[in-house]
Structure 1
């Protein structure tokens, strides 16, 4: 009886309360990719066809009005495996915060850095081939950070467009840098030992931005979408706290043509707040030797999209990107180059089919690994 009374009271309170229902949203993107293996001498080559999940996710978000100016905001996203190859519910952006109509938004949680957010305006092949064919595959700076406080300014109106300022302060919480399931940890104890900030100008014709990362966990040895089990140039993963500056620009011309560019440079942050998590002394020593041998990494991108004026559902596009990681102790530079061409067909705002072909080259000294890819996919947003 007491249980029934308690349930009745709870239902009555819920029925009498007013709150904004959360919005359920997400994206499912899957492709079929042909990725032949080209292995070094002594190993056999083979044809490979893979089904890829390309940044598929689900999420909940909400905005609860508190006063005329102030709202509570929240969002939580989980990655999902459209091809079933990996575990669902990996970490994506999630936060709770307050939004003031005049002062901006303050969030607490895990979030893409402002520097990473810049690439969405210019990376034409973002998320392709299981997220390995975009700038994430070969460049530093594409990071989501845990334990962060984020500020997003309101849009500042100018005669021809708007300016926005974004900033992220991270706390390492007395741990070393580490790559997690969708989100990375920075090092240090204090809030702001690692940080990221950006300034973006946005107008119908021009988008331009500049951003800086300080001691943000990044990978300096990306291998792109190389599929070989024994490539001549392996690439791989070498995490370090990176200081990165990135600049982007996009010009939307009359007639449906958009031109895009990105340039960035990164170096390793060498402070007591930039250690890795493993406590094994041998692992620490090997890692320190590897990152201290890095001189810098420089990457750039040029791309174009053309929405056909006489067939608005069709968009053709092309992109070239390159990244060079230089070393100090007579180690040959690691150079990654990738070129892509493709076409999209938009059935509507939610559903898009696409096809593409690409080529990646990794070079280090006299060694060279080449990786072609041809694929087609379907994207559904809800």
Structure 2
């Protein structure tokens, strides 16, 4: 009898209006990747890996307070679809107020506006365990803790709309720090580090520009390199593996996307980054002069077979130094095809090639993979 009563109470609570605005959502994305190792000092070998590609689960909701003001909230956790790493990593999470005329103000942890700017142009976002997209070789793909975020309402124009986004960070620490999914900035004041963007969005053209000030980032990215003994070693960890240098960065990024007739879209991105002096910067980052990256790509959605999309993309990032070290160049090229069963389920396949160069040294990494993405 007690069990039945407890079940009845639980069901009544779940059905109550208090929970009416709660939405469960997320994404499970896993792929099988063939990543042969090309080693400088040891024997080469074939490697097949199962990759988790930015899988996550989230809860969000919105509560009407009056005719123009709503309370909003969301919390997301990263998941390991292949069971190979830690679950419950930090993703976007916030509580805030949304005004129909003034915009939305959030407090929590959030992607920077500059990071969000890559979404319209990065066709291979999160592929190969999140290392084949711009995050693999570019700087400034950051999620920041202890942040205040503002999102403007859309400013309507005859052909589209303009949106302005801004993030002010409170470091709450003596220096920058890398967390389990999000990073902390240096300084104790609100706005010692910040990020902002302006985006024009229309059915034909998407264009935007963004700037990061003192946002923690990774320089010298190695993409999806899988070599246990790579030839290019601009920075190594305690095990001698190719790694990146974590440092505060000042970055400007510009993007453009043109949606042409008959299903063709052309995309481009350019950015440049410099190291901002901050406590917690990795040793060696003081010798980085700048890092300049760019991307071009295209997608084609078949008019006679709408489920199919083919795409291709080239990206490159070049890091220069002040201590006469050779330039470090990372280049990625990808081609692939998607098949959308519906809005929630997509199968995909791809092939890519990564090249890391520094002086006369060169590390090469091919990849071939296929995966399945399910959104809920």
Match of 1:255 in 2: 262
- In structure 2, what is the Cα distance between the partners aligned to 1:12 and 1:83? 36
Match of 1:40 in 2: 40
SS in 2 for 1:136: helix
Q: Is the 8 A contact 2:173 2:185 kept in 1?
A: no
Relative distance call for 1:378 and 1:16 in structure 2 (3 A) is: closer
Relative distance call for 1:341 and 1:67 in structure 2 (3 A) is: same
1:376 aligns with 2:367: no
SS in 1 for 2:128: helix
CA RMSD of aligned residues (A): 2.0
Relative distance call for 1:17 and 1:349 in structure 2 (3 A) is: closer
Match of 1:243 in 2: 250
Q: Is the 8 A contact 1:20 1:64 kept in 2?
A: no
- In structure 2, what is the Cα distance between the partners aligned to 1:295 and 1:18? 54
Q: Is the 8 A contact 1:20 1:63 kept in 2?
A: no
Q: What residue ranges of structure 2 are gaps of 5+ in the alignment?
A: 1-7, 234-241
1:297 aligns with one of 284, 288, 291: 291
Match of 2:165 in 1: 166
1:342 aligns with one of 336, 343, 365: 336
Q: What residue ranges of structure 1 are gaps of 5+ in the alignment?
A: 1-7, 277-283
Match of 1:357 in 2: 351
Match of 1:203 in 2: 202
Per-residue deviation, 1:21 = 3.1
Relative distance call for 1:103 and 1:357 in structure 2 (3 A) is: same
Instruction: Note the alpha carbon deviations across 1:266-308, whole angstroms, 9 max, x for none.
Output: 00112xxx111xxxxxxx8xx45x1221000000000000001
Q: Is the 8 A contact 1:37 1:46 kept in 2?
A: yes
Number of residue pairs matched by the alignment:
363
Instruction: Note the alpha carbon deviations across 1:156-195, whole angstroms, 9 max, x for none.
Output: 0001000000000001113311111110111001000000
Query: What is the TM-score when the length of structure 2 is the normalising length?
Result: 0.93
- In structure 2, what is the Cα distance between the partners aligned to 1:307 and 1:14? 42
Q: Is the 8 A contact 1:169 1:195 kept in 2?
A: yes
- In structure 1, what is the Cα distance between the partners aligned to 2:311 and 2:198? 27
- In structure 1, what is the Cα distance between the partners aligned to 2:15 and 2:316? 57
Match of 1:326 in 2: 320
Match of 1:227 in 2: 226
Q: Is the 8 A contact 2:173 2:184 kept in 1?
A: no
- In structure 1, what is the Cα distance between the partners aligned to 2:217 and 2:243? 12
Instruction: Note the alpha carbon deviations across 1:90-112, whole angstroms, 9 max, x for none.
Output: 00000000000000000000000
- In structure 2, what is the Cα distance between the partners aligned to 1:338 and 1:212? 24
- In structure 2, what is the Cα distance between the partners aligned to 1:207 and 1:130? 27
Match of 1:24 in 2: 24
Query: What is the TM-score when the length of structure 1 is the normalising length?
Result: 0.92
- In structure 2, what is the Cα distance between the partners aligned to 1:81 and 1:31? 12
